[in-house]
């Protein structure tokens, strides 16, 4: 211990004077302190930990971490006064204090989406004494209900419309957050909520600040063009969807962009409605909602095959999750987002309220995307072209007096929830569902709205539960041999071959089944199994692939026939 103390004293004396006074100039990329491990010009806790590691010839223990926490003055550097406290701890004259890995700060706000009258908890960390703070909502001081240790509570005022939350202690700001109003009626279709209430599609954006580059974005977005409802009362006009039960037969589907698609099979009925009709030449989207499991299947450029479908690409969304697709991945929409979540449905307009953001398109976009998008779709790099995922809203001072009926309901949603740019297409085209009950005369009035009547929302601080989480894409499992309707003879050996891959991970194993009976499994490519002494009868051969994270996918079944000997 005496040797260690001597080393420490010499170590500190080497730069105790400069740390207590002014900091001498240092050359770029160097430090003036010989013990300054991270070369930030200041001796701090991390440098002491490195020193203790040298002295102990091993990893730093929790006890050493406590000892190293000697910045008693909490000024971010170690001075001669902190050294004296440090020596008192080493000599046993004093106990180490708690570890603080940074200044006091606001660590969390629960809940992050509120209604007037709700009680909200503020959680803090790195407090060095009793909590004493002041709370401001949208710049107005708000009373704190009570304080206990590292938490404080307050009641949301009746008049609070959502906005900035700031906590101050003395002259220090402990933290800022954004407190948004809660969506109490997120959209529901066929008994399935279309994503959680705090999903970006479902959060109102009236209270969010205007993006600092809003004017530049709008200037590049053909601002003189009028808003265009992409639906009418005509047949095949709008974005269709179909609802199926959980027992809907799964059918094979192939994808041109297989490497950014969720592998099949999908529960797509033979008569699924296709955007624009069965003979359409456009994007040919189809959306299928499994109302039993609340899973959403979305594909584009879909065409029937003798068995199943072929498509440009497909995505599966768990409607109970806020997880995104893998970064840089597309979906059936260019931005990597769900389509159904942003479609204005006739039923909700007829009910008098659209409680979600609306999908819209622009002809030219930036080679970039912002949350919640995961994919871009254009080569231009102009920073003021709109990126995928951009959120816009109708300006608050834009009068809605000219609108009635269906147009008024949609215009109100454009102010409260705004629109999310999700694909390349016609400038300022927004998406509605298929219905012969749309009032074309009322919808046409929305064309009085122009691009310059919108502003870009700065939604970067939107709090979303699970924000940043990614869907684990299921692995592919396709039986490539034997072919459907092949006939074998009883007693034969049948080789079962399976194509399996995992676009966002690796395949852990592939299992082989005859009807519901497992025959065997393989953990290495090629994924094959030889079924020997096959019995007579008809059966379905299938495979189940499981990825490295435990997610499984079962292939479409291949029916084969095994005839009796000599028959």
pLDDT at residue number 118: 97
Do 452 and 335 share a structural domain? yes
- Domain limit, last residue, from 156, 181, 206: 181
The pLDDT value recorded for residue 23 is 36
Q: Are residues 76 and 137 in the same domain?
A: no
pLDDT at 4: 45
Q: At what angle do helices 2-13 and 80-90 cross, to 10 degrees?
A: 180
> In the chain, which stretches have pLDDT less than 70?
1-102, 566-567
Contact 341, 356 (CB under 8 A): yes
Say whether both 447 and 487 belong to one domain. Answer: no
Pairing of strands 242-244, 286-290: parallel
Is 493 found in the same domain as 436? no
Same domain, 269 and 340: yes
With beta carbons less than 8 A apart as the criterion, state whether 151 and 167 touch: no
7: in domain: yes
Asked if the structure places residue 471 within a domain, the reply is no
Based on the domain organization, do 205 and 299 belong to the same domain?
Answer: yes
Q: For the chain, how many structural domains are there in total?
A: 4
Cβ(49)–Cβ(55) under 8 Å? no
Predicted pLDDT at 104: 85
Q: For the residues of 186-226, what is the DSSP string, one character each? A: --EETTEESS-TTSGGGS--TTSPBPTTHHHHHHHS-TTSB
The reply to whether 277 and 221 lie within a common domain is yes
Q: Which of 121, 175, 166 is nearest to 147 (CA)?
A: 121
Claim to verify: residue 419 and residue 544 sit in the same structural domain? no
The domain that holds 153 is classified in CATH as: 2.60.40.10
Nearest to 545 by CA among 477, 446, 490, 479: 477
Question: Which tokens sit at 289?
Answer: 């909602």
Chain CA centroid to CA 340, Å:
16
């Amino acid at each position: 211990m005496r040797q260690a103390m001597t080393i420490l004293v010499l170590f500190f004396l080497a730069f105790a004077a400069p740390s207590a006074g002014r900091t001498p100039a240092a050359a770029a990329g160097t430090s003036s302190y010989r013990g300054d491990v991270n070369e930030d010009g200041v001796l701090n806790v991390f440098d002491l930990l490195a020193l203790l590691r040298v002295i102990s010839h091993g990893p730093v223990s929790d006890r050493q971490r406590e000892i190293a926490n000697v910045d008693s003055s909490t000024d971010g550097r170690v001075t001669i006064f902190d050294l004296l406290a440090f020596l008192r701890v080493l000599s046993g004259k004093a106990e180490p204090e708690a570890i603080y890995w940074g200044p006091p700060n606001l660590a969390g706000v629960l809940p992050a989406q509120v209604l007037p009258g709700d009680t909200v908890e503020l959680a803090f960390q790195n407090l060095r004494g009793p909590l004493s703070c002041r709370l401001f909502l949208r710049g107005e001081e708000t009373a704190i209900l009570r304080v206990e240790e590292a938490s404080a509570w307050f009641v949301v005022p009746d008049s609070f419309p959502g906005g900035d939350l700031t906590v101050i202690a003395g002259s220090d700001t402990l933290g800022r957050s954004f407190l948004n109003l809660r969506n109490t009626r997120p959209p529901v279709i066929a008994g399935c909520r279309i994503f959680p209430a705090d999903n970006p599609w479902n959060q109102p954006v009236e209270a969010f600040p205007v993006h600092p580059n809003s004017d530049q974005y709008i200037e590049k977005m053909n601002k003189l063009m009028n808003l265009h409802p992409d639906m009418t009362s005509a047949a095949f006009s709008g974005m269709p969807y179909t609802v199926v039960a959980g027992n809907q037969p799964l059918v094979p589907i192939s994808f041109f962009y297989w490497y950014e698609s969720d592998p099949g099979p999908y529960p797509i009925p033979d008569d699924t409605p296709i955007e624009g009709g069965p003979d359409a030449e456009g994007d040919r989207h189809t959306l299928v909602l499994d109302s039993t499991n609340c899973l959403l299947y979305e594909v584009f450029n879909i065409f029937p095959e003798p068995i199943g479908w072929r498509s440009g690409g497909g995505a599966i969304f768990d409607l109970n999750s806020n997880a995104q697709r893998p970064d840089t991945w597309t979906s059936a929409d260019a931005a990597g987002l769900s389509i159904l979540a942003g479609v204005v449905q006739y039923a909700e307009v007829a009910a008098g309220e659209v409680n979600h953001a609306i999908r819209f398109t622009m002809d030219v976009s930036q080679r970039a995307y912002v949350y919640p998008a995961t994919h871009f779709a254009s080569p231009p790099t102009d920073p003021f072209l709109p990126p995928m995922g951009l959120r816009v809203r109708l300006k608050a001072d834009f009068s809605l007096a000219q609108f009635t009926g269906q147009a008024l309901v949609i215009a109100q949603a454009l102010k409260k929830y705004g629109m999310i740019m999700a694909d390349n297409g016609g400038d300022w085209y927004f998406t509605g569902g298929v219905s012969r009950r749309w009032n074309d005369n009322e919808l046409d009035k929305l064309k009085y709205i122009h691009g310059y009547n919108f502003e870009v929302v700065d939604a970067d601080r939107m709090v979303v539960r699970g924000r940043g989480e990614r869907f684990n894409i299921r692995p592919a499992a396709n039986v490539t041999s034997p072919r459907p309707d092949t006939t074998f003879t009883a007693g034969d050996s049948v080789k079962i071959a399976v194509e399996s891959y995992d676009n966002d991970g690796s395949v852990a194993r592939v299992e082989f089944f005859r009807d519901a009976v497992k025959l065997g499994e393989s953990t290495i490519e090629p994924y094959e199994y030889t079924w020997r002494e096959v019995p007579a009868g008809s059966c379905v051969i299938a495979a189940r692939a499981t990825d490295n994270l435990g997610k499984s996918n079962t292939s479409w079944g291949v029916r084969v026939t095994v005839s009796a000997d000599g028959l």
